[in-house]
Amino acid sequence: MHDLTFAKEIVRALNIKQNSIPNGSRITSINAALSPLSHVKPETLTETFRVMTKGTELDKIGLNIKVLKIELTCRTCKHAFQIDKPTTRCVKCNDSDLDMAYSKEFVIESINVADNQSQQKTS
Ligand SMILES: [Zn+2]
């Protein structure tokens, strides 16, 4: 179950961040990205994260998850293209000699922190 692995990774990143920010500051949200190759939907990951952090401080943190596109380059005709779903053929020449530029399944991009002095904007 990849969603569980990714949710644990989010919790771990949040705990590390929590320990590095000054007292009075708090984490408001986290931005992460999923590859379509991970076969995990953002909704599923959010759900898993909520269940995992229910009743803890982390429960209040916003989770922004986007789905990345897969970037492929055809080694035969050099055509570069983006896809949402895994494919084994070049969309131009139908060759199967493809180079995948993005292979990470899950990335934590940034963690947003608010300090208690400044006004917290709600978005
Ligand atoms: Zn091609």
Burial class of residue 5, CB neighbours in 10 A (0-12, 13-18, 19+): middle
How many whole angstroms from 53 Cα to the centroid of ligand 1? 45
In a domain, residue 12? The reply is yes
How many whole angstroms from 36 Cα to the centroid of ligand 1? 21
How many whole angstroms from 38 Cα to the centroid of ligand 1? 25
In a domain, residue 57? The reply is yes
In a domain, residue 84? The reply is no
Enclosing domain of residue 19: 2-68+102-114
- Into how many domains does the chain fold? 1
Half-sphere exposure of 96 (CA within 13 A, CB side): 1
In a domain, residue 91? The reply is no
Mean pLDDT computed over 90-103? 88
In a domain, residue 50? The reply is yes
In a domain, residue 88? The reply is no
What are residue 98's DSSP bridge partners?
74
How many whole angstroms from 85 Cα to the centroid of ligand 1? 17
Q: Which residues contact 33 (CB under 8 A, 6 or more apart)?
A: 65, 66, 67, 68, 106, 107, 109
**The domain that contains 29 carries what CATH number?**
3.30.2320.50
How many whole angstroms from 45 Cα to the centroid of ligand 1? 34
Confidence of residue 123 (pLDDT cuts 50, 70, 90): very low
Mean pLDDT computed over 19-38? 91
In a domain, residue 119? The reply is no
* DSSP-based three-state secondary structure for 116: coil
In a domain, residue 9? The reply is yes
At 35-92, the pLDDT tens digits run: 888 889 999 999 999 999 999 989 999 999 999 888 899 999 999 998 887 788 999 9
